[in-house]
Amino acid sequence: MKSISRLIAVTKKEVRQLRRDRLTFGMIVGIPVIQMLLFGYAINTDVRNLRTAVADQANTHLSREFVADLVQTQVVDIVDQVETPMMLEERLRTGNISIGVVIPPDFDRRVIDPERPAVHLLVDGSDPTISGVANQLRAMPVRFDVGQAAKRNENIEVRPFYNPERRMPVNIIPGLMAIILTLTLTMFTGVAIVRERERGNLELLINTPVSSAELMIGKIIPYIAIGMLQLALILVVGHLLFRVPMRGSVVDLYLAAAAFIAASLALGLLISTVAKTQFQAMQMTIFLILPSILLSGFVFPFDGMPKFAQYLGEVLPVTHFIRLTRGVMLREAELMELAPDFYFLIGFAIVAMTAAALRFTKRLD
Amino acid sequence: MTSEFAIEARGLSKLFGDLKAVDDLDLSVPRGQIYGFLGPNGSGKSTTIRMLCGLLTPTEGSATVLDVEIPGHARELRPRIGYMTQKFSLFGDMTVLENLQFIAEIYSFPKAGRRARIEELLNKYDLAEQRRQMADTMSGGQKQRLALACAVLHRPELLLLDEPTSAVDPQSRRDFWANLFRLAEDGTTILVSTHYMDEAERCHRLAILDHGVKVADGTPQDLQQNTGMHVVEVTDDDPYAAQTVLHDLPEVASVTQLGIRLRVLIPENYDAPLDIVSAALSRAGINAHIAIAPATLEDVFVAVTMGCEERHS
């Protein structure tokens, strides 16, 4: 059929040009690997070794034991011993320390008095993670009979399913996969058509018998393959370097990815029909990428966001794909158990693709 | 029912905001001829060509192109026309051969004859040695030959060329026109826009456009014979003095300097143009050689666009 052969002609041309564009070709492999290495090792919300100073005004046997217990937790790293709470405040302000521990002179008496707190923690609240961690320290027993009291806190036992060792990369990489795919694919296709417009190729193309749909689909086929390749790369690197498990079925993950890749590419095409220059296409991509990172549940838990932000997040394909990857890879869920997210991605791809093809008229005015 | 005209436009107009790029244009282009569009930049040449191939929608008016109605049915037209854009629009990061192959695939050129057709074009347009060269690295003339080869690959009945020679040297232009005549002999209708007088002179027929208005059309000979002006050529060592004198004469429509010669246009309703000029010059004490000259296309162009400026002001 003529239509199919025209589509293949466009795809062949696109692959040929892509192969010659060394930088883009390098980015296809480079972006996923570099970002995985960077974020896989760097992002860690399991906070340890906070710089801490102590003002031990009691300096008794008990207070020294308490400080030793603090160090034992590994949450704090005592870098300084000072005389007064004032000196702690000064070090907090200059950013020298994140936590200041004040042990009052009457520490021993306060420990047995339930009315009065025995220790003050001065915490750098300008970083929300630090104040969250400091709160954990409150649970630390400060008693003469430490051993007995410790048991009391075990009424509630936490069992971290799916990631018992609480390793950060296991949480990060399924989400990072979604971000990398959408970033690269939306940008590549966003630029693809605008570039041809800028170079004048489009004026030639729209005078040939090739239709809008043939042109659009022909152009995105190579990028679907690229997306699949990137996905494989991420899975292999994640497994080898970060021991990220693949508990569900790889086929399910690839099906979900196919829908997500289609949605990202369609979004890119839509951008390319709006943008007049490659620079504008880039700007629009960035405008989309920030909410994709911040509102998708990748960084902050989705449930904790205000309602309107959740609605915004629900519109983004990334949000749904992150749910799918975490579900399939970590929770061993089957794709059909996560059907709503899967269907959303398919629906999004169809709507965006149709809108792009409608917007892309084969005329110049 | 086949019309004798490849293109018939009726009252074609195009507005860009407040700017009337093309104004009520009527056009009849006979089949198998080279039809020229002559006009300065911004006279509406490109806009007209783009409307004729369906790239732009006319604000008003319509056209019949190869018996297909425009606007509305441009799609049917695509396989039957070839279009060469003003700016080089092939793929710079692909070789000559790859570009030709891509165009052949896009136009669904029959597979059986594809290779032979591409070889034929490579030889005909002197590109055989560049077949493996990236299009971006070629000279202006080579790019232009490649663009023409791509535009005619599918053997279109009508070829629309938008200032095809604006980026090439004179020798390449001559060769290019030789190619156009060969195509016309084979029955292709060619519409070509240009702002070069010598190119316009080679066309079978031409239309002169100014500010979106067609101010004259016909064969180059017709146009030269019917300027409505006497042309007096004044030759003098100090043409500037003579020009100042002649410019102020009420009878003189325009004075154009060509080296030491002046071409003076005087409307035909004055009977004795030589007397008018010689009287004025001797009053000023200038002793120049004067003679009646046949009108060139440039004179035609000056005469018709001048009329247009009067209408505008």
A200/B contact by beta carbon, under 8 A:
yes
Are A199 and B92 inside 8 Å of each other by CB? yes
B98/A contact by beta carbon, under 8 A:
yes
CA distance A363 to chain B (A): 5
Sole residue written with tokens 């911040």: A294
Provide CATH 3.40.190 ranges for chain A. 50-155
B106: nearest CA partner in chain A: A6
Least confident of A360-364, B75-79, B175-179, B195-199: A360-364
Please give the structure tokens belonging to residue B248: 């102020």
Q: What is residue A145's predicted lDDT score, i.e. its pLDDT? A: 55
Q: H helices of chain B, where?
A: 45-52, 74-77, 96-106, 111-124, 140-152, 170-185, 197-202, 220-225, 239-247, 273-283, 297-312
Q: What is residue B307's predicted lDDT score, i.e. its pLDDT? A: 59
With vertex at residue A30, the alpha carbon angle to CA A28 and CA A34, rounded to the nearest 5 degrees, is 135
Task: Please provide the DSSP assignment of B230-272 as one string.
Answer: EEEEEE-S-HHHHHHHHHT-TT--EEEEETTEEEEEEETTSS-
Q: What is residue B11's predicted lDDT score, i.e. its pLDDT? A: 92
Q: What is residue A260's predicted lDDT score, i.e. its pLDDT? A: 96
Please give the structure tokens belonging to residue B284: 């000023």
Please give the structure tokens belonging to residue A261: 């890749």
Are B106 and A9 inside 8 Å of each other by CB? yes
CA distance A202 to chain B (A): 8
Read off the pLDDT band of A305 (50, 70, 90).
Answer: confident
Q: What is residue B94's predicted lDDT score, i.e. its pLDDT? A: 95
| Helix, strand, coil % over all residues of chain A, rounded to 5 | 70, 5, 25
Count of Cβ atoms closer than 10 Å to residue A24 Cβ: 16
Read off the pLDDT band of B1 (50, 70, 90).
Answer: low
B92: nearest CA partner in chain A: A199
Q: A24 to chain B: which residues are within 8 Å by CB?
A: none
Q: What is residue B66's predicted lDDT score, i.e. its pLDDT? A: 93
- Mean pLDDT of all residues in A133-140: 76
- Mean pLDDT of all residues in A337-363: 89
Are A16 and B98 inside 8 Å of each other by CB? yes
The pLDDT tens digits of the residues spanning B32-78 come to: 999 999 988 888 999 999 999 888 899 999 999 999 998 888 889 99
How far the first Cα of chain A sits from its last, in Å, is 30
Read off the pLDDT band of A149 (50, 70, 90).
Answer: very low
Count of Cβ atoms closer than 10 Å to residue B227 Cβ: 22
Least Cα distance to B241 among B289, B281, B278, B274 occurs for B281
CA–CA dist A338, A328 (Å, integer): 9
Measuring CA to CA, how many Å separate B153 from each of B32, B146, B285? 17, 10, 63
DSSP label at B212? T
**Structure ipTM:** 0.83
Contacts of A201 (CB under 8 A, 6+ apart): B89, B90, B91
The most confident of A278-282, B118-122, B211-215, by mean pLDDT? B118-122
Read off the pLDDT band of B31 (50, 70, 90).
Answer: very high
Provide CATH 3.30.70.920 ranges for chain B. 228-294
Top CATH class, B228-294: alpha beta
Average pLDDT taken over every residue of chain A? 86
- Mean pLDDT of all residues in A268-283: 89
Q: A22 to chain B: which residues are within 8 Å by CB?
A: none
B75: nearest CA partner in chain A: A209
Domain B5-223: what homologous superfamily? P-loop containing nucleotide triphosphate hydrolases (3.40.50.300)
Provide CATH 3.40.50.300 ranges for chain B. 5-223
> A50-155, what's its fold?
D-Maltodextrin-Binding Protein; domain 2 (3.40.190)
Q: What is residue B73's predicted lDDT score, i.e. its pLDDT? A: 86
- Mean pLDDT of all residues in B244-270: 89
- Mean pLDDT of all residues in B142-157: 95
Residue A338 has pLDDT above 60, yes or no: yes
